Structure 1
Amino acid sequence: MQDNTIRLDKWLWHARFVKTRSLAAKLVSGPGVRVNALPVSKPAAQVGAGDVLTFALGTRVVVVRVLACGVRRGPAPEAQALYEDMSPPPPPRDLSRPVPVAGGRPDKRDRRRFAASAPDRLD
């Protein structure tokens, strides 16, 4: 093994894309992780400086260029120095629809706002 490469799951954990290394391994084992446009399914795949990673994280697609391998899982500024974010910007939010607020049942005013934004059944 060369000194300038690191396991993919370990790098994702060092760069703080996932909370645990086992979650990083699950992410890589599932479909959709690519290194330099080639699909990868093994967490032990090696990545190094200059490699481009593409993977789905939640509802967005993340595209990053690896700048360094990293030695440890340090604080966020140290983790952000390991990669260059090349992800496309997220689509703009649809402000015409109200967003439910987490924390319980909507009150009467919220229900009226939701009903007003919904299309009429007769239309």
Structure 2
Amino acid sequence: MTEPRALIRLDKWLWHARFFKTRTLAAKVVSGGHVRVNSSKAAKPAHKVGAGDTLTFPQGSQIRIVRIIAPGERRGPAPEAQTLYDDLTPKRDDVPPSPRYDGKGRPTKKERRSLDLNRFGPLE
């Protein structure tokens, strides 16, 4: 016979893997309907997950996609937590929203006028 796979609560695993600072925050995200387990919404923080499951959830300003490798025994240091999952999140190019992000400061008044002219057309 095969051994049953080890399962752990979803909120507890997210906390063990250090995606959230507290287990309460992890539970709020799950109960808010923001976490998907294998492409279906997790309804409760007590939803059981195990190795092989894929999670999709928001973290900060990005959407994280991770595949669980191990359930984890405890909330250890970050290098230990990173062994619990494979990060499948697509890498995004960090393109700054400002054209003058190169450290040159704010645009001059002349540059702002030309930006507005390009954006809105000539004012009448």
- Could you say whether these structures have the same fold, taking a TM-score greater than 0.5 normalized by the shorter chain as the test? yes
* Structure 1, 90-99 or 40-49: larger mean CA deviation: 90-99
Q: How many residues align?
A: 113
Counterpart contact for 2:5–2:50, Cα < 8 Å = no
Bigger radius of gyration, 1 or 2?
2
Could you tell me how far 1:114 is from its partner in structure 2? 6.5
RMSD of aligned C-alpha atoms? 2.5
Could you tell me how far 1:95 is from its partner in structure 2? 6.5
Superposition misfits of 4+ residues, deviation over 4 angstroms: none
Spell out, residue by residue over 1:45-83, the C-alpha distance to the aligned partner (whole angstroms, 9 max, x if none). Answer: 000000000111121111000000101100001000000
Could you tell me how far 1:92 is from its partner in structure 2? 3.7
Q: Point out where structure 2 has 5 or more consecutive residues left out of the alignment.
A: none
Structure 1 residue 65 corresponds to structure 2 residue 67: yes
SS at structure 1 position matched to 2:81: helix
> C-alpha distance in 1, partners of 2:73/2:35?
22
SS at structure 2 position matched to 1:120: helix
Q: Which residue of 2 aligns with 1:54?
A: 56
Percent identical among aligned pairs is: 51
Q: Structure 1 residues 117, 10: CA separation in 2 closer, same or farther (over 3 Å shift)? A: farther
Q: Point out where structure 1 has 5 or more consecutive residues left out of the alignment.
A: 102-108
Counterpart contact for 2:5–2:51, Cα < 8 Å = no
- Structure-to-structure mapping, 1:1-123, within 5 angstroms: 4-94=6-96, 97-99=99-101, 110-111=105-106, 113=107, 115=109, 116=111, 119-121=115-117, 123=121
